[in-house]
Amino acid sequence: MIQNFILMNGYGIFVWAAFAITFITCFILYYKTLKTLKKHEKDFADELNKLSSDQRTIVLEKSKIATKVLASYNKSI
């Protein structure tokens, strides 16, 4: 029964290859996206650290996203 499921009347190789290609492609896209996100978070944190303390405080008070990005960046360090 399991052998019939795996072989799928001779089409199993195509079906399982399609599943493998799909999962590998999704993983590669996820990895690249995560890598790009971490790079942008690092660049944003570097820019934020270049600001004076008064300017940094103003930016962090006005932007909820900035505080979340900075908090997630600090957790990953």
Q: Looking at this protein, which amino acid is placed at residue 53?
A: S
Express each pLDDT in 35-72 by its tens digit: 999 899 889 888 888 989 898 888 888 888 877 777 77
| Alpha-carbon radius of gyration of the chain | 23
**Does residue 44 contact residue 69 with C-beta atoms inside 8 Å?**
yes
> What are the C-alpha distances in Å from 75 to residues 11, 41, 50, 68?
47, 12, 20, 11
Q: pTM above 0.85? A: no
Please state the domain count of the chain.
Answer: 1
16 pLDDT higher than 90 = yes
Domain that holds residue 50: 2-76
